[in-house]
Copies of this chain bind each other. A is one copy, B any other.
Amino acid sequence: MDTSNYQQLTRTFQRLYRFSHLSSIAGWDMMTMMPAAGSAARGEALAEISVLKHQILTDKKVAQWLDAAAQEDLNDVEQANLREMTRHYQQAAVLPEALVEAKSLAGSRCEHAWRSQRPANDWEGFSANLKEVVKLSREEAKLRAAAKGCTPYDALLDLYEPDMTAAKLDVLFADLKSWLPDLLNQVVAKQSQRQLIAPVGPFPVEKQRELGLTAMRTLGFDFDAGRLDISAHPFCGGVPEDVRITTRYDENELLSALFGVVHETGHARYEQNLPRTWLGQPVAEARSMAIHESQSLFFEMQLGRSKAFLQRLLPAVIDRFGVQPAFSDENFIAWNQQVKPGLIRVDADEVSYPAHVILRYEIERALINGEIDVDDIPALWDEKMQHWLGLSTVGNYRDGCMQDIHWTDGGFGYFPSYTLGAMYAAQLFHAARTALPNLDAAIAEGDFSALFEWLRQNIWQHGSRFTTAKLIESATGEALNSRYFRQHLTARYL
């Protein structure tokens, strides 16, 4: 029997999926289990399988099959799969292997040096490495842009959120900028009126872990197909059949580990509920980084920090850590809904978070499009941080443009996903509430089944079958806009 070109492709992507399985698990192990001396051998093994995957994906035969399969009789899902396969192929084939390797090396060097340069506030040392990363990322962006016929930065955006462009982002972000600074000021002014009581630790790790597991169960995490562990930086990894989420514990701080778990559980449920029958094929993958982030923020911000959810959570907290003044209903909710503009993005609340993202977006776009250079970053950073949050970062590189590692490995184009995710999450939650009239009452009673079923029907089960635009329009009846994010922030904080 003849094998169709499409079938050849599905076999090839099935193989790639299986190799990725091993990379994912070994990557998870590296972050959670691996002793220090295992690092070099692990790095080599992961690089070797990356090279293998790149070779398999960019093989000439794949291009031929893709061309030929486009003429074959395919159903809707198969056509969507072919579209996603083509996207993967093109993204990989456009880059010469030498550039991939040079970028990976420059990224590792920059990230490794950053670990000591950040505490030393050593911008001079850091920027020397970053320049090399930017140079290579610009090369990458140019090649991708030439292949797609778009601007360099748009070509990178497309890696994380297909079809997103700077032009579209500018509209969305201009809208945000028109109302968010005012809203932030009002919230800060309002919250400054009240006195909050801080929870008093220590909160033993084992009990924090139990609380996290309880929250995961409540939120429908499937423990038969996943785990919770510890890593320095929380993440959601593993494979859809076996999702590994992590958090980190601070015995003096109760809520950061817990909301880390809630956030990662959102990512995890998306992965655990991707379409099983297509698993192994690109069409079954999560739609985009922004949609992924929308699920984690749906869980953490829309649901997790809602009054109703916090009220349900409180007895479990008191059960483990006893009664204390901070654990009154009112104080507990207010404590978890604090808005405090600060220098560090990962510590930011949902009202000030977009400022961090838009700041980076504007800088990285100009950087990749060649309008500014690495040396211009600190001044721009300070100017934007002053403008948005009224905070100075003059001379404070460590809490300014050196605060995290997103740029060190050339991940330009990713930042917008965070705020797109927040906007998607608000729009989705609004649509779910409209579709489910008893939703608020159900949440107050701890019954999230209808809400999760709605997510399954509208987001999870579709994988990458539709474009993001179509997915969101089907789920919410309209294109992405900031209205629901604004409504959400206004309702919760003003």
Contacts and interface: CB of A to CB of B under 8 A. Distances in A.
A225 B18 contact: no
Nearest to A224: B37
Interface string A223-244: 1111100000000001101100
A40 interface: yes
Interface in A388-419: none
A345 interface: no
A15 interface: yes
A38 interface: yes
**Which bracket fits the contact residues of A?**
35 or more
A49 B242 contact: no
A488 B42 CA distance: 42
A25 B29 contact: yes
Contact of A15 (B23, B48, B225): B48
Contact of A49 (B22, B40, B44): B22
Contact of A239 (B23, B33, B38, B241): B38
A278 interface: no
Contacts of A225: 35, 37-38
Interface string A34-47: 11111011101110
Contacts of A38: 225, 238-239, 241-242
A52 B33 CA distance: 27
A23 B21 CA distance: 11
Given A26-B25, A35-B224, A226-B35, A242 B41 contact: yes
Nearest to A16: B48
Given A15-B48, A45-B22, A33 B241 contact: no
A18 B48 contact: yes
A225 to B, nearest CB: 4
A27 to B, nearest CB: 10
Given A225-B35, A241-B38, A45 B26 contact: no
Given A15-B48, A26-B26, A21 B35 contact: no
A222 interface: yes
Contacts of A224: 35-37
Contact of A22 (B23, B33, B227): B23
B226 A18 contact: no
A405 to B, nearest CB: 24
Contacts of A34: 242
A15 B41 CA distance: 12
Interface in A1-43: 15, 18-19, 21-23, 25-26, 29, 33-38, 40-42
A34 B238 CA distance: 10
7 contacts: A19-B45, A21-B41, A22-B49, A25-B25, A37-B222, A38-B241, A41-B242
Closest 7 CB pairs of A and B: A38-B242, A37-B225, A21-B45, A18-B48, A41-B241, A18-B45, A22-B22
Given A35-B224, A41-B239, 11 more contacts: A18-B44, A21-B42, A21-B44, A25-B25, A25-B26, A29-B29, A33-B227, A37-B224, A37-B225, A41-B242, A42-B242
